[in-house]
């Protein structure tokens, strides 16, 4: 499946040394958007389900447009990230710094990405955002807003915390391969573990140190 994916991307003209077309940019953006939704929604599902249940209790209805609006607000944040990731991929492509698997062709750049991502895991900003992601009930209690626009704002706000928690981890794909399905699955599982696991905060910090060490090894 990974080889077929790589061939399909190459068929779009994304081979090394070939200039991007508007279609290449669109399909790359679509790829990132679908990938981010697939990677982030599993860990966001408890928040979405809790919102749906709370809204149903307050309004006396089941799944409603407000729940959809909450989900769309969340996805909107990661759609924005996907646009930035597309621009970054375009820049690397233009600089001839991407391999066929869409990973950095420079060991120094790959190592720097890993070190930066690992270091971010150890910051207070990461810890604050992770705390919000791990406390869905607390988030709803302090950020509740009625109506469909309010639901969208809540979803967007939660997505912003989620982005603050996980953006650096997603950037690791530039070091290991945007099309590397094993790493995509591993990062998806790790995000769920640090958000939903009983020792998620500790796991996040330990993983940060490991990622920094991995980055140093890659450079060396």
Structural tokens at position 211: 């990622």
- Residue pLDDT, tens place only, 164-195: 999 999 999 999 999 889 999 999 999 999 99
Q: Is the pLDDT of residue 62 over 60?
A: no
Residues in the chain: 220
Query: Which residues, 6 or more positions from 141, have their beta carbon under 8 angstroms from its beta carbon?
Result: none
Q: Quick check: helix, strand or coil at residue 180?
A: coil
Structural tokens at position 180: 């590397």
CA-angle at 193, arms to 154 and 55, nearest 5°: 25
Contact predicate 170/33, CB 8 Å: no
Its pTM stands at 0.86
Q: What percent of the chain has pLDDT over 70?
A: 89
**Selection from 114, 94, 121 nearest residue 174 by Cα:** 114
Q: Count Cα neighbours of 180 within 13 Å in the Cβ-side half-sphere.
A: 19
SS3 content of the chain, % helix, strand, coil (to 5): 80, 0, 20
> In which band, very low, low, confident or very high, does the pLDDT at 6 lie, cut at 50, 70 and 90?
very low
> Which stretch of 43-47, 51-55, 77-81, 161-165 has the lowest confidence by average pLDDT?
51-55
Q: Is the pLDDT of residue 80 over 70?
A: yes
Query: Which residues, 6 or more positions from 159, have their beta carbon under 8 angstroms from its beta carbon?
Result: 73, 74, 75, 76, 77, 78
Residue 11 confidence (pLDDT): 45
């Amino acid at each position: 499946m990974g080889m077929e994916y790589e061939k399909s991307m190459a068929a779009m003209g994304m081979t090394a040394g070939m200039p991007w077309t508007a279609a290449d940019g669109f399909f790359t953006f679509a790829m990132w958007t679908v990938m981010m939704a697939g990677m982030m929604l599993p860990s966001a599902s408890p928040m979405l389900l809790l919102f749906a249940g709370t809204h149903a209790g307050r309004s006396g209805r089941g799944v409603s447009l407000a729940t959809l609006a909450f989900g769309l607000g969340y996805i909107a944040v990661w759609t924005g990230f996907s646009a930035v990731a597309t621009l970054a991929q375009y820049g690397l492509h233009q600089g001839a710094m991407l391999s066929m698997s869409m990973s950095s062709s420079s060991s120094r750049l790959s190592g720097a990405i890993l070190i930066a991502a690992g270091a971010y895991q150890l910051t207070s900003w990461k810890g604050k955002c992770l705390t919000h992601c791990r406390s869905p009930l607390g988030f709803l209690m302090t950020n509740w807003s009625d109506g469909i626009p309010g639901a969208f704002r809540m979803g967007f706000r939660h997505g912003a915390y989620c982005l603050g928690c996980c953006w650096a981890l997603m950037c690791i794909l530039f070091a290991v391969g945007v099309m590397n399905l094993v790493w995509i699955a591993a990062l998806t599982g790790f995000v769920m573990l640090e958000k939903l696991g009983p020792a998620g905060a500790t796991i996040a910090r330990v993983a940060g140190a490991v990622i920094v060490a991995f980055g140093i090894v890659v450079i060396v």
